Amino acid sequence: MAVMLLTVSHAQTGYSNFSRQTDRINALAKSYPQLAKVKSLVKTIGGKDIWQITIGSGNADSKPAIVVIGGVEGNYLIGTELAIGFAENLLQGSATDSIKALLNKTTFYIFPNMSPDAMEQYFAPLQYERLGNASATDDDRDGKTNEDGFDDLDGNGKITMMRVESPVGDYKTDPDDPRVLVKADVNKGEKGKYLVYTEGTDNDKDNNFNEDGEGGVWFNKNFTYKHPSFSQGSGEFPASENETRALLDSLFERFNVYAVVSFGSNNNLSSPFAYNALAATQPIVAAWQLQDVKADSMVADLYNKTVNMKDAPKTNPAGGDLLSWAYYHYGRYSFSTPGWWVPKTKPDSTKGEKAFTIEDPVANYLRWAAHEGITNTFTDWKTIQHPDFPGQKVEVGGVDPFVLNNPPYKLVPDLVKKHSSFLVKLAGYQPELDIINLKTEKVGGGLTRITLDIINKGALASHSKIGERSYWVKRINVKVNINGNQSVISGKKIQTLNSLDGYSSQKMTWLIKGTGKLTIDAGSPTTGNKSVEVAL
Long-range contacts of 14-19 (CB under 8 A, 24+ apart): 14/409, 15/77, 15/81, 15/122, 15/406, 15/409, 15/412, 16/80, 16/81, 16/84, 17/120, 17/122, 17/123, 18/48, 18/113, 18/116, 18/119, 18/120
Query: Cα–Cα distance between 357 and 376 in angstroms, integer?
Result: 26
Reply yes or no on whether the pLDDT at 9 is more than 50: no
What is the spatial distance between Cα 340 and Cα 408, in angstroms, rounded to a whole number?
Answer: 11
Q: Where are the beta strands (DSSP E) in 425-527?
A: 433-444, 447-456, 476-481, 487-490, 494-497, 505-513, 517-524
More confident call, 54 vs 150: 54
In what order do the strands lie in the sheet containing 487-490?
433-444, 447-456, 505-513, 487-490
Domain covering 433-535, topology: Immunoglobulin-like (2.60.40)
> Half-sphere exposure of 354 toward its Cβ, with a 13 Å CA cutoff?
6
The pLDDT value recorded for residue 1 is: 47
Please give the pLDDT value at position 471: 84
> Residue 263: pLDDT band by 50, 70, 90 thresholds?
very high
Cα 190 from Cα 78, distance rounded (Å): 38
Rounded to a whole number of angstroms, the distance between the first and last alpha carbons of the chain is 36
Phi-psi region of 305 (alpha: psi -120 to 50; beta: other; left: phi over 0): alpha
Residue 11, pLDDT score: 60
Give yes or no for residue 224 having a pLDDT over 70: yes
**Residue 111's pLDDT is what?**
98
What's the pLDDT score for residue 401? 96
Q: What is the DSSP letter of 307?
A: H
Q: Is 214's pLDDT higher than 70?
A: no
Q: Residues 6 or more apart from 149 whose CB is under 8 A from it?
A: 200, 203, 210, 212, 213, 214
CA–CA separation, 508 and 71 (whole Å): 46
Mean pLDDT is lowest, of 188-192, 214-218, 434-438, 471-475, for 214-218
Residue 209 pLDDT level (bands cut at 50, 70, 90): low
Kindly report which listed range (167-176, 178-187, 193-202, 521-530) carries the lowest average pLDDT score: 193-202
pLDDT over threshold 80, residue 42: yes
pLDDT of 140 higher than 90: no
Please check the confidence at residue 286 and state whether its pLDDT lies above 80.
Answer: yes
Across residues 179-200, what is the average pLDDT?
93
Indicate whether 141 pLDDT > 60: no
What pLDDT is stored for residue 221 in this prediction?
A: 97
Q: What average pLDDT does range 116-137 have in this prediction?
A: 92
Q: What is the mean pLDDT of residues 432-444?
A: 96
Residues 185-198 have a mean pLDDT of 93
Q: How confident is the model at residue 472 (pLDDT cuts 50, 70, 90)?
A: confident
Comparing 5-19, 46-60, 73-87, the range with the smallest average pLDDT is 5-19
Whether the predicted pLDDT of 207 surpasses 70: no
Residue 81 — very low, low, confident or very high, per pLDDT cuts 50/70/90?
Answer: very high
pLDDT average, residue stretch 372-378? 94
> Who wins on pLDDT, 434 or 470?
434
Is 8's pLDDT higher than 90? Answer: no
Give CA–CA dist 87/105, Å, rounded.
17
- Find the mean pLDDT for residues 391-397: 94
pLDDT value at 229 more than 70: yes
Least confident range from 45-49, 135-139, 145-149, 470-474: namely: 145-149
> What are the residue boundaries of the structural domains of the chain, listed by start?
18-121+216-341+407-427, 138-214+343-399, 433-535
Q: What is the pLDDT of residue 89?
A: 97
The residues that bridge with 181 in the sheet, in sequence order, are 173
C-alpha pair distances (Å), 50 with each of 40, 262, 294, 527: 5, 15, 34, 28
Please give the residue that has the higher pLDDT: either 452 or 216: 452
Q: What is the mean pLDDT of residues 61-67?
A: 97
Distances (CA, A) of 218 to 128, 208, 230, 331, 476: 15, 21, 13, 23, 37
Band (151; pLDDT cuts 50, 70, 90): confident
Residue 251's contacts (CB-CB under 8 Å, 6 or more residues apart) are 67, 109, 257, 260, 330
- CATH superfamily, domain 18-121+216-341+407-427, is Zn peptidases (3.40.630.10)
pTM (global) more than 0.75: yes
Mean pLDDT calculated for residue range 34-40: 97
pLDDT at 302 exceeding the cut of 50: yes
Report percent pLDDT > 70 for the chain.
93
Summarize the confidence of residues 342-355 as an average pLDDT: 91
Contacts of 351 (CB under 8 A, 6+ apart): none
Topology agreement, domain 18-121+216-341+407-427 and domain 433-535: no
How far is Cα 129 from Cα 75, in angstroms, rounded to an integer?
Answer: 6
Q: Is the pLDDT of residue 323 over 60?
A: yes
**Residue 470 to residue 224: CA distance in whole angstroms:** 15
| Sheet of strand 476-481, all strands in order from the earlier edge strand to the far edge | 494-497, 476-481, 517-524, 528-535
416 compared with 149, residue with greater pLDDT: 416
pLDDT of residue 23: 97
